[in-house]
A = this chain, B = another copy of it.
């Protein structure tokens, strides 16, 4: 349906339809009513491409955050906002729930806000070129990369930690302190996401210390809710009582796991050492303080914006940045 079809259907000229659509006064009330009624009937949406030329170029960078209320994201969101402003861009924040599709949300935001570029926070690790094609603008995966997908590396950017390497470092710290019965609590060993990557690091660290993988010490929680960290630890305690350390893949789960140990009369770290990765605020206030690898949240946000702005302004190509964590030595581990 074009403006011509509307005119024909109404028995008026194309200019009359045009004048009605532009709210021009020089149209008779009868013609105006006729045109608007057909336009509504036909769900006619005028082509706005000429109109868009009128607008100044957008300065919008989109940030799609998957997982409303994930405390890990708060500092990153602030860092992205500050870096956007410093570079002369406006951040458009859009939060979606964990079950939603960040690529679809990103593509819609790109169109409705005429985004110049997009940062995805908390997305999936297994994109295909078909699924990202709809975005149509440069994008950066922040805190993750396409480890399980098929995107050519020059078609997207990423800023993340090396999940596998960091898990390896952390579990090696435990083996160096004499631990050999080291359990792991994660959501799934095949989640195509951080748990799977960190699990690989765990397995490698055990193997490099000559420790055989013991499937009974691997607890899958299915989710990242705190309550699952608690029940995951209870499950482990029902299975075995000879483990001396636990690597929990995320801080929030670890805080709940420590509570479960306490409630079942086990002391941290005397009876069981606990380590995790993330470094969220909450885990600095547990008793004892959780020993964790702190992700460089501000840098993750800042570098994502830096790469994106370079691409928008034609200075750079897609890049992949791996940042290091910093260990926060709490009181939750001890040597055997």
Binding site for B on A (CB under 8 A): 3, 14-15, 18-24, 26, 36, 39-40, 43-51, 53-56, 68-69, 71, 73-74, 77-78, 81, 93-95, 97, 226, 230, 255-256, 258-259, 262, 281-282, 284-287
Query: Cβ of B40 and Cβ of A22 under 8 Å apart?
Result: no
Q: Which residues of B contact A94 (CB under 8 A)?
A: 93
Query: Cβ of A39 and Cβ of B54 under 8 Å apart?
Result: yes
Return A229 CB to nearest CB of chain B, in Å.
Answer: 8
- In the assembled complex, the Cα of A73 lies from the Cα of B36 at a distance in Å of 43
Chain copies in the assembly?
2
Q: Which residues of B contact A77 (CB under 8 A)?
A: 68-69
Query: Cβ of B40 and Cβ of A23 under 8 Å apart?
Result: no
Q: Which residues of B contact A262 (CB under 8 A)?
A: 287
Return A210 CB to nearest CB of chain B, in Å.
Answer: 35
Query: Cβ of B14 and Cβ of A24 under 8 Å apart?
Result: yes
Query: Cβ of B3 and Cβ of A22 under 8 Å apart?
Result: yes
- Tell me which of B43, B54, B226 contacts A44 (CB under 8 A): B54
Query: Cβ of B19 and Cβ of A15 under 8 Å apart?
Result: yes
Add 15 more A-B contacts to A21-B54, A40-B54, A78-B97 (CB < 8 A).
A14-B26, A15-B15, A18-B22, A23-B49, A36-B50, A36-B54, A40-B53, A45-B55, A46-B54, A68-B77, A68-B93, A93-B95, A226-B281, A226-B284, A226-B285
